[in-house]
A and B are shown apart, each in its own frame.
Chain A
Amino acid sequence: MAATAQPNVKNVWLGGVEPMKASYGKLMMWFFLISDTFTFSALLVAYGLVRFSSPAYVGQVADFVASPAYWPIPEKVFDAIPFFHGLHAPLVFVGIMTFILIFSSVTMVLAVEAGHRMDRAAVEKYMLWTILGGATFLGCQAWEWTHFIVGTDSGTVVKELVDGDWVTHTVFGANLTQNQYGPPAFADFFFFITGFHGTHVLSGVILNFLVFYRTATGLYEKRGHYEMVEKIGLYWHFVDLVWVFVFTFFYLV
């Protein structure tokens, strides 16, 4: 008698019970996100290690000149904004990017809230705003990367030891081996950390579009709940969260 499953009785081993009062999909999304946290942490921790093992710039911030000999001051590197060539606007553009991502997080959580009310039109509206925010962020990042790779008008004069001789040449912009703003490792970390984050934003935009499409075609309404919006929402907020940390550890300190 005890071995037979009874209908309408919740049995821990036969399903029907949600561990931690979260659905399977949501729980798995949380555990995926914690593993993704480790990946991003590994990148940021490696950045911390290399930064602390490299010489720091000593002297007044105002007198800062870029050199591969010491770690740069981020606000001196990221000081350009589109359409204002030559204007020194430290961290303004990255501030705008941060605002865009936080705002798209707000529209995402509004979409989740609309899903709870089964308000299909509102979910569609807020998903579109979220997609727009994500796409705008990616566009900003493309511009930022381009500016970083192309470099400034004057570049940086670098003295290098090549085959026993000191050679002087001017470096414009940065790639994985050369960097006008500081040590090559600084550019490497910039490309890897913001690139890995940008890849997350890109896949987030694709997932958001998928959710929007399935909302618009009425799949979730037919299913009776908008839990998928919540699950993708968790991922999207995580991407925003990572940017908050990247903003602090790469651009501010």
Chain B
Amino acid sequence: MAHVHEHEHDENAGAEQRKAIWRTFWILLAITALEFLIAFTLEAGILKTAIFVGMTIVKAFYIVGEFMHLKHEVKSLIWSLLIPCIFVVWLLIALMREGGSIFDLR
């Protein structure tokens, strides 16, 4: 009897997890659809780029947090993966500014 009960409990936990998976899927789909809408309605510019980058980060948060389960890992693992990424952002901004400078000098 104890075994049956345990099995039942496992299945319930799985159902909850499956619900979270599908919710994440719908969120990702909605953001992608919204990106398309913005791509064809908003004028190109800083605001549009900022919205796209923001939405990408939200999507990345859901993929890494839910699908890759990082949200539920220990804090030291989360930080040891996030902190190196800060340097990537730094490099990206630095070299885009550098590119603008190269353009001005040419």
Is the C-beta of A77 less than 8 angstroms from some C-beta in chain B?
A: no
Report whether A117 and B10 are in contact in the complex, using a CB–CB cutoff of 8 Å: yes
- Assess whether B2 is interfacial by the CB under 8 Å rule: no
Interface of A is mostly: helix
A95 touching B100, Cβ below 8 Å: no
Most A CB contacts (10 A, CB to CB) among B40, B67, B85, B91 go to B67
Q: Mark A234-249, 1 if CB is under 8 A from B, else 0.
A: 1001101100110010
Q: Which of B25-67 contact A (CB under 8 A)?
A: 25, 28-29, 32, 35-36, 39-40, 44, 48-49, 52-53, 55-56, 59-60, 63-64, 66-67
Tell whether A248 pairs with B52 under 8 Å between CB atoms, given A30-B77, A95-B32, A109-B67.
yes
Number of A-B contacts (CB under 8 A): 129
Q: Is B29 within 8 A of A99, CB to CB?
A: yes
CA distance A197 to B67 in the complex (A): 19
B65-106 to A contact mask, C-beta < 8 Å, 1/0 = 011100001101100110011001001100111111011001
* Residue contact A53 to B52, C-beta cutoff 8 Å: no
**Mostly helix, strand, loop or mixed at chain B's interface?**
helix
- How many whole Å from B12's CB to the nearest CB in chain A? 11
A132 lies within 8 A of chain B by Cβ: no
Interface size class of A (residues with CB under 8 A): 35 or more
Residues 68-92 of A contacting B (Cβ, < 8 Å): 73, 75, 90-91
Query: Contact partner of A20 among B17, B76, B99, CB < 8 A?
Result: B76
Interface size on B, residues (CB 8 A): 50
- Give the complex CA separation of A13 and B35 in angstroms: 50
Within A82-129, the residues touching B (CB, 8 Å) are: 90-91, 95, 98-99, 102-103, 105-106, 108-110, 113, 116-117
Chain B residues with Cβ below 8 Å from A44 are 92
Docked CA distance A99–B66 (Å):
17
Known: A22-B73, A49-B98, A244-B60. A103 touches B25 (CB 8 A): yes
Kindly list 9 other residue pairs between chains A and B, CB separation below 8 angstroms, not including A22-B77, A55-B103, A113-B18: A20-B80, A30-B77, A45-B88, A61-B44, A90-B40, A91-B39, A237-B68, A248-B53, A253-B48
Considering the complex of A and B, which 3 residue pairs feature the smallest CB-CB distances, nearest first? Answer: A52-B99, A53-B102, A53-B99
